[in-house]
């Protein structure tokens, strides 16, 4: 069934109460003509209809009907406009059937995010910065980190959903959709006759509040059924509300003082870009979530900072708007569930078309919706209603947007004022002042459009430092509402809205010199990294001259920071009496667009009026020149006159010149070779501009000096520029006198931890970026030695380091002792600033290498394994001396030092490393009684067959000679008792190891004593209790006595004597002297080793020594020299001397067998040969 809804909208009192009526056709199929709507308004309605206004106090109350005089009904429709819009045969579709429920949008919690942004910046802003040129305190970075950590991803990292698949094409626009869309333009509805007004007079008792509706008891025949719902009204004949959201035509941004029980808190105001700011903060919080914040905060080159916020004008925010959407959805569902709206009671919220926002600056309220409108239709355009109509637009209270993913979304920001009208599009300065609307109404099947222009001088100015108030008037669905100057509108406002800038002042942009690009820079150089190079003892200019592959680019240009036209305007820079000048500045900004001028002078983007100068502060970091201090320079040209860029220049040191200083318009930084400094460039604020910034309210007074000076990250962030004086090699090589001391090692430890002195080997940390430690030592094997080398460790060296970043640890892979020579290589930290080809051509191009003079002993950390003893036998050494005397006599004295034992050892040796010895284990108290160590120490005894002195049973250290080092006292593993260990050095011969143990004290104490050596593998360079292996007992072996043979030749005779310790009995040892000759000529005879024990001819051709008959003499040990006659002839002659022990000869001496085969049956304890003549 077709209906015409007549919605009564109380419109206030202007002399008499005014009721506006909105007519809403709800037609059910067919055409307009078939529904009785071929023309509108109908003739009967225009001819003075019998309308009636019904009043009641509330539902169920008596109704009072008051007829309406035709003079009280006002139509302002445009003749024939209805027919021009809608032909009589226009299909109207149908409104029958169920109405789909309103879609609930996804609402971004803008109020929560705005408060979180405020909290995030408040704590860092409240930190006390102290001195203006000081770096931000550590508490600032801590507060930043804490603030960022509060931002959870909250879906910010969720990828955007894929666009929804295309749905069916929308139905063609029909009559109802057209009427619905035109409802946003009450002036057009009035021209169509769909809005008319009625002057009414409420009955007595219902003047202040009640319900009202208008009815047409006898409508024109053929018209759809007239349906009139009730509308609530209150004081001032304005729509009344059931809830606190609206009160007498005002949105209750703050509670209406005349209404009790409203807690408020539904609305708030923010001036920051909430959506963009929250997204930036969530992105930044990911650093904290990933555990990188502490690392960044600890690195002054990458301080943790808060992202830049954007000033977004004054924004009206509906708190918990999601619930508001739900509430309104419930209202819509309730209405849709009704079979008819006849008798339904509408309140103020049902009658809302939108909101009209007013701003108060000073004492005057101004509307943000005043505009001059011209509506038109058709081609060529025909004006609808009044051309140049002064009207107020509105904003939608519940707007939402559908994204590419087909999801309806909204934020809690209901209105945003950025300085321009909310009812027109902000004009572009390269476009006409009047911005036309679309040539066709969106979604309409008719040619419909509009031209809007903001009403001149109707808008307030949005300016930093000002304080504003904001209110919202209700625009009802009939186009009415409280007017701007209505006294009833002066309530429910949010006041004391401070407006300040959130965007920090940019630091001066740093550019290359004109004509240069990044491709013109050398290795390691960048726009914000300036490099000069030199060699030791040379200058920067000399380096360039000697190295044609390098070009010096030591200068950068520093520009005055630019800003947007909006920021400049909000700083009041365009509030100028000279309109032409102001507009010229505007056109200058428009022309500059996104261009970033690098020109020396000339027009360009508008400079940031808050940037009053440049502050250059050397970062307080290791390696900077010690006398470097801050330097600042103002921009001289008045705003917005263009100003030539200033220059940043890097130079070498100069006596009397500070490291960082301005010289005219050039900031000169002077660095010695190897020095580096990071200069933090920032903008000093223009005087009296600090209060233009929103965050300054949260700063303590002590921090405002830092902000004014350009040293507060939230107001004036810095741009670090690094300046480097690079050198190829470290300036100082490692000190060769440096020492490395190993820390005490533990048992089984395969590595050594070394402490260096000086701690960094005396290198220059400014030019040294890395220290490499390598090692060399000798590895001993059985039959060979080799030189071993190893790369031990590399250390990164930072400027300001005084010690190595970690312990120097040399891993050997075993426990052996070594004597190590270390080499330290200092690597230049400036390799990235030179061509890589230099390193390819010369691997040492960037290093200084030093071998330390002092070697480092690394002690053994494992107990040695027991040696393998293959045998023990007597050993000798010989000493000869010849003494010519007067008369041609020559005396030969030959000593046999025989108090020795040779120990034969199995392979391998050096199991514990270099310096491994064979230790002879002695009782450390040889005069004491027998103790547990007795079976484990060296023991000696007399040969019982001889009459000789008893030797000491337990040899003392003094009775051993030839040791390879001092004796040491060590604990025997087997008995856990101490012992004295005398080390002897083994030697390798053939395929065996041998060690000679000299015991002359024992050999001289007793004749041929028996000795049982106790030996162990010994490593003197070992950690405590790890020197000695288990003890090995050698076989009992006799020591042979020392002997001294004296031969004196005089002419054809010689005298021979043999001396040394012998037995006292039973018989003294006999000494035989046998003269032998060899038939071989000399010198061949001197090499013959074969002897015959029988006399015979010497000329038989066999090279052999034979005894000469009757030339054998006998004597005894220690007897006077005996004369030995020599045979004649020219044959080679020698003496063979032998000492024979007379074992078992208690009575008489056996017949000597010398010179005969009987010698083989005698016990010989000494034998030697002497070639004659002696001279």
* 135-153 per-position pLDDT tens digit: 889 899 999 999 999 998 7
Residues 778/838, Cβ–Cβ less than 8 Å: no
pLDDT for the residue 888: 76
pLDDT for the residue 598: 42
Dist. CA 1149–CA 1142, nearest whole Å: 7
Q: Which of 723, 748, 773 is the last residue of a domain?
A: 723
Dist. CA 1039–CA 12, nearest whole Å: 140
Helix or strand (DSSP H, E) at 281: helix 274-289
Task: Please name which of 1162, 1157, 1022, 1018 lies closest in space to residue 1094, comparing C-alpha atoms.
Answer: 1157
Tokens found for residue 47: 């001819």
pLDDT for the residue 1052: 82
Dist. CA 692–CA 713, nearest whole Å: 16
Q: Do the domain assignments include residue 906?
A: yes
Asked if residue 1005 and residue 1121 are part of one domain, the reply reads no
Unique residue bearing structure tokens 């060690």: 995
Q: Do the domain assignments include residue 498?
A: no
pLDDT for the residue 169: 64
Dist. CA 1005–CA 1001, nearest whole Å: 6
pLDDT for the residue 440: 45
Residues 6+ apart with CB under 8 A from 955: 922, 926, 938, 940, 999, 1001, 1002, 1011
DSSP-derived letter for residue 562 is B
**Could you list the residue range(s) of the whole structural domain that residue 1069 is in?**
1043-1172
Helices (H), 290-391: 293-298, 321-336
Q: Which of 858, 890, 916 is the last residue of a domain?
A: 858
Asked if residue 204 and residue 305 are part of one domain, the reply reads no
Asked if residue 239 and residue 331 are part of one domain, the reply reads yes
Q: Do the domain assignments include residue 496?
A: no
The rounded radius of gyration (Å) of the Cα atoms in the chain is: 58
Phi (first) and psi of residue 907, to 5 degrees:
-80, 160
Task: Please name which of 246, 270, 624 lies closest in space to residue 416, comparing C-alpha atoms.
Answer: 270
Q: Which of 806, 823, 858 is the last residue of a domain?
A: 858
Dist. CA 250–CA 850, nearest whole Å: 86
Exposure string of 1103-1136, with b = 16+ CB inside 10 Å and e = fewer, is: bbbbbbeebbbebbbeeeebebebeeeebbbbbb
Residue 43: other Cβ atoms inside 10 A: 9
Asked if residue 1005 and residue 941 are part of one domain, the reply reads yes
Q: Do the domain assignments include residue 728?
A: no
β pairing state of 768-780 and 611-618: unpaired
Asked if residue 1057 and residue 1033 are part of one domain, the reply reads no
Q: pLDDT tens-digit profile of 412-446?
A: 999 999 999 999 998 877 655 554 555 445 456 67
Phi (first) and psi of residue 385, to 5 degrees:
65, -135
> Helix 110-125 and helix 138-149: axis angle, to 10°?
170
pLDDT for the residue 603: 63
- The two counts, helices (H) then strands (E), for the chain are 15, 64
Dist. CA 462–CA 498, nearest whole Å: 11
Indicate which CATH number applies to the domain containing 838.
Answer: 2.60.40
* CA angle, residues 254, 257, 262, in degrees to nearest 5: 60
β pairing state of 401-402 and 408-411: antiparallel
pLDDT for the residue 464: 98
809, β-bridge pairs: 753
Dist. CA 595–CA 605, nearest whole Å: 8
Residues 6+ apart with CB under 8 A from 78: 191, 192, 384, 385
DSSP-derived letter for residue 396 is -
If 0-12 CB within 10 Å is exposed, 13-18 middle and 19+ buried, where does residue 831 land? Answer: buried
| Structural domains of the chain, count | 6
Residues 18/237, Cβ–Cβ less than 8 Å: yes
Asked if residue 420 and residue 514 are part of one domain, the reply reads no
Q: Do the domain assignments include residue 732?
A: no
Dist. CA 248–CA 10, nearest whole Å: 11
Residues 238/10, Cβ–Cβ less than 8 Å: yes
Residues 876/838, Cβ–Cβ less than 8 Å: no
pTM above 0.75, yes or no: yes
pLDDT for the residue 96: 62
Asked if residue 110 and residue 68 are part of one domain, the reply reads no
pLDDT for the residue 600: 37
Dist. CA 85–CA 443, nearest whole Å: 14
Q: pLDDT tens-digit profile of 1054-1083?
A: 999 999 999 988 889 999 999 998 888 878
pLDDT for the residue 162: 57
pLDDT means per 10 residues in the chain (1175 residues)? Answer: 94 94 93 92 88 95 94 93 91 72 90 96 94 86 92 59 59 81 96 97 92 95 95 96 95 92 93 96 84 53 82 97 91 84 94 98 97 92 93 94 90 96 86 51 71 96 98 97 96 96 97 95 97 91 92 96 95 91 88 54 78 94 82 94 94 91 96 94 96 96 94 95 96 96 96 96 96 96 90 95 95 96 97 93 94 97 96 94 82 93 95 95 72 86 92 92 93 89 95 94 93 96 95 95 93 91 90 90 81 73 85 93 88 92 73 86 92 85
Three-state DSSP class for residue 713: coil
Q: Compute the CA torsion angle 1140, 1143, 1146, 1151 (nearest 10 deg).
A: -50
Q: Do the domain assignments include residue 1030?
A: yes
Residues 995/889, Cβ–Cβ less than 8 Å: no
Residues 6+ apart with CB under 8 A from 441: 178, 181, 182, 448, 449
Helix or strand (DSSP H, E) at 701: helix 701-708
Asked if residue 827 and residue 678 are part of one domain, the reply reads no
Asked if residue 1020 and residue 983 are part of one domain, the reply reads yes
Tokens found for residue 215: 């009815």
pLDDT for the residue 158: 44
Dist. CA 917–CA 910, nearest whole Å: 8
Asked if residue 969 and residue 910 are part of one domain, the reply reads yes
Dist. CA 84–CA 379, nearest whole Å: 12
Dist. CA 180–CA 884, nearest whole Å: 145
Three-state DSSP class for residue 252: coil
Q: Do the domain assignments include residue 729?
A: no
Q: Put the strands of the sheet holding 751-757 in their side by side order.
A: 739-742, 751-757, 808-811
Asked if residue 1143 and residue 1111 are part of one domain, the reply reads yes
Tokens found for residue 710: 């350009």
Helices (H), 56-105: 81-85
Task: Please name which of 52, 65, 38, 70 lies closest in space to residue 6, comparing C-alpha atoms.
Answer: 52
pLDDT for the residue 445: 61
Dist. CA 895–CA 900, nearest whole Å: 14
Q: Do the domain assignments include residue 734?
A: no
**Region for 810 from its dihedrals, namely left if φ exceeds 0, alpha if ψ lies in -120 to 50, beta otherwise:** beta
pLDDT for the residue 302: 61
Q: How many residues in the chain?
A: 1175
Asked if residue 707 and residue 584 are part of one domain, the reply reads yes
* CA angle, residues 72, 75, 81, in degrees to nearest 5: 170
Dist. CA 455–CA 393, nearest whole Å: 11
pLDDT for the residue 48: 80
């Amino acid at each position: 069934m077709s209906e015409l809804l007549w919605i009564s909208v109380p419109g206030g009192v202007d002399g008499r109460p005014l009721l506006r009526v909105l007519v809403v056709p709800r037609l059910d199929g067919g055409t307009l003509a078939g529904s009785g709507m071929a023309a509108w308004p109908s003739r009967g309605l225009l001819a003075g209809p019998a309308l009636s206004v019904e009043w009641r106090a509330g539902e169920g109350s008596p109704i009072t009907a008051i007829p309406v005089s035709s003079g009280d009904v006002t139509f302002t429709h445009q003749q024939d406009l209805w027919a021009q819009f809608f032909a009589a045969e226009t299909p109207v579709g149908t409104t029958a059937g169920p109405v789909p429920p309103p879609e609930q949008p996804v609402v971004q919690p803008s109020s929560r995010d705005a408060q979180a942004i405020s909290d995030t910046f408040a704590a860092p802003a409240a930190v006390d910065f102290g001195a203006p040129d000081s770096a931000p305190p550590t508490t600032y970075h801590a507060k930043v980190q804490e603030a960022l950590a509060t931002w959870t991803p909250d879906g910010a990292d969720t990828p955007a959903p894929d666009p929804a698949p295309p749905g069916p094409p929308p139905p063609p626009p029909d009559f109802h959709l057209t009427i619905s869309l035109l409802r946003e333009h009450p002036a057009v509805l009035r021209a169509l006759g769909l809005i008319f007004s009625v002057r009414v007079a409420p009955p007595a008792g219902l003047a202040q509040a009640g319900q009202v509706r208008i009815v047409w008891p006898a409508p024109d025949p053929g018209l759809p059924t007239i349906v009139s719902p009730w509308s609530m009204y209150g004081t001032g004949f304005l729509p009344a509300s059931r809830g606190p959201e609206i009160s007498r035509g005002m949105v209750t941004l703050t509670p209406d003082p005349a209404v009790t029980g409203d807690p408020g808190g539904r609305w708030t105001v923010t001036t920051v870009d909430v959506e963009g700011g929250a997204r930036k903060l969530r992105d930044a919080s990911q650093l904290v979530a990933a555990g990188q914040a502490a690392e960044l905060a600890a690195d002054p080159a990458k301080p943790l900072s808060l992202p830049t916020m954007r000033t977004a004008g004054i924004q009206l925010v509906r708190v918990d708007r999601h619930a508001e959407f739900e509430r309104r959805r419930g209202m819509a569902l309730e209405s849709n569930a009704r079979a008819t709206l006849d008798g339904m009671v509408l309140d103020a919220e049902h009658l809302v078309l939108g909101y009209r926002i007013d701003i108060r600056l000073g004492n005057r309220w101004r509307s943000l919706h005043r505009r001059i409108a011209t509506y038109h239709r058709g081609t060529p355009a025909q004006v609808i209603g009044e051309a140049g109509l002064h009207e107020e637009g509105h904003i939608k209270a519940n707007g939402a947007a559908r994204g590419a993913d087909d999801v309806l979304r909204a934020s809690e920001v209901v209105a945003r004022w950025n300085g321009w009208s909310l009812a027109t599009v902000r004009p572009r300065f390269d476009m006409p002042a009047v911005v036309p609307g679309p040539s066709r109404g969106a979604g309409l099947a008719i040619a419909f459009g509009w031209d809007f222009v903001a009403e001149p001088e109707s808008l307030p100015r949005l300016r930093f430092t000002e304080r504003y108030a904001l209110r919202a008037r209700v625009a009802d669905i009939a186009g009415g509402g409280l007017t701007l100057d209505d006294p009833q509108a002066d309530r429910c406002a949010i006041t004391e809205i401070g407006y300040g800038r959130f965007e920090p002042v940019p630091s001066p942009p740093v550019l290359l010199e004109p004509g240069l690009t990044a491709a013109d820079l050398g290795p390691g150089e960048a726009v914000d990294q300036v490099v000069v190079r030199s060699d030791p003892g040379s200058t920067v200019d000399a380096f360039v001259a000697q190295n044609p592959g390098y070009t010096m680019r030591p200068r950068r240009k520093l520009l005055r920071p630019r800003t947007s036209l909006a920021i400049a305007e909000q700083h009041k820079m365009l509030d100028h009496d000279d309109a032409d000048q102001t507009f010229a500045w505007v056109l200058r900004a428009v022309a500059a667009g996104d261009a970033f001028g690098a020109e020396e002078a000339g027009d360009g983007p508008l400079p940031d009026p808050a940037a009053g100068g440049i502050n250059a502060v050397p970062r307080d970091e290791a390696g900077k020149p010690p006398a470097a201090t801050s330097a600042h320079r103002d921009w001289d040209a008045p705003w917005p006159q263009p100003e030539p860029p200033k220059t940043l220049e890097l130079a070498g040191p100069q006596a009397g010149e500070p490291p960082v200083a301005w010289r005219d318009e050039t900031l000169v930084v002077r660095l010695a070779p190897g020095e580096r400094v990071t200069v933090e460039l920032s903008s000093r604020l223009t005087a009296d501009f600090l209060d233009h910034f929103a965050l300054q309210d949260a700063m303590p007074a002590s921090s405002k000096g830092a902000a004014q000076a350009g040293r507060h990250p939230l107001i004036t962030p810095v741009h670090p520029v690094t300046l480097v004086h690079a050198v190829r090699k470290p300036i100082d090589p490692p000190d060769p006198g440096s020492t490395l001391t190993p820390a005490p090692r533990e048992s089984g430890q395969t590595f050594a931890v070394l402490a260096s002195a000086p701690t960094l080997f005396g290198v220059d940390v400014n030019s040294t970026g890395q220290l490499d430690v390598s090692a060399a030592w000798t590895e001993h094997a059985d039959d060979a030695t080799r030189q071993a080398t190893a790369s031990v460790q590399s250390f990164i060296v930072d400027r300001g380091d005084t010690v190595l970043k970690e312990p120097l640890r040399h891993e050997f892979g075993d426990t052996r002792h070594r004597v190590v020579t270390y080499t330290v290589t200092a690597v230049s930290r400036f390799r990235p600033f030179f061509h890589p080809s230099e390193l390819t051509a010369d691997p040492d191009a960037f290093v200084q290498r030093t071998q330390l003079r002092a070697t480092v002993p690394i002690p053994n950390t494992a107990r040695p394994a027991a040696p393998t003893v293959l045998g023990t036998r007597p050993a000798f050494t010989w000493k000869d001396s010849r003494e010519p005397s007067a008369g041609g006599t020559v005396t030969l004295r030959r000593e046999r030092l025989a108090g020795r034992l040779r120990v034969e050892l199995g392979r391998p040796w050096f199991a514990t490393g270099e310096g491994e010895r064979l230790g002879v284990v002695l009782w450390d108290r040889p005069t004491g009684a027998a103790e547990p160590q007795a079976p484990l120490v060296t023991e000696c005894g007399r040969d019982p067959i001889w009459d000789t002195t008893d030797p000491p049973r337990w040899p003392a250290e003094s009775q051993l000679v030839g040791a390879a080092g001092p004796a040491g006292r060590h604990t025997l593993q087997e008995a856990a008792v101490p012992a004295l260990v005398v080390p002897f050095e083994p030697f390798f011969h053939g395929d065996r190891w041998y060690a000679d143990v000299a015991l002359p004290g024992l050999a001289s104490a007793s004749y041929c004593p028996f000795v049982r050596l106790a030996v162990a593998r010994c490593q003197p360079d070992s950690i405590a209790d790890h020197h000695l292996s288990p003890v090995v007992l050698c076989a009992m072996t006799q020591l042979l006595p020392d002997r001294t043979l004296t031969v004196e030749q005089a002419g054809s005779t010689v005298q021979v004597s043999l001396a040394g310790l012998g037995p006292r009995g039973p018989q003294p040892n006999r000494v035989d002297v046998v003269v032998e000759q060899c038939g071989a000529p000399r010198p061949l005879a001197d090499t013959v080793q074969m002897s015959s024990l029988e006399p015979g001819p010497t000329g038989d051709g066999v090279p052999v020594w034979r005894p000469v008959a009757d030339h054998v003499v006998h004597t005894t040990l220690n007897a006077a020299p005996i004369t030995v006659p020599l045979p004649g002839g020219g044959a080679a002659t020698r003496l063979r001397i032998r000492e024979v022990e007379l074992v078992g000869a208690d009575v008489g001496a056996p017949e000597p067998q010398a010179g005969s085969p009987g010698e083989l049956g005698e016990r010989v304890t000494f034998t030697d040969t002497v070639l004659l003549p002696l001279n």
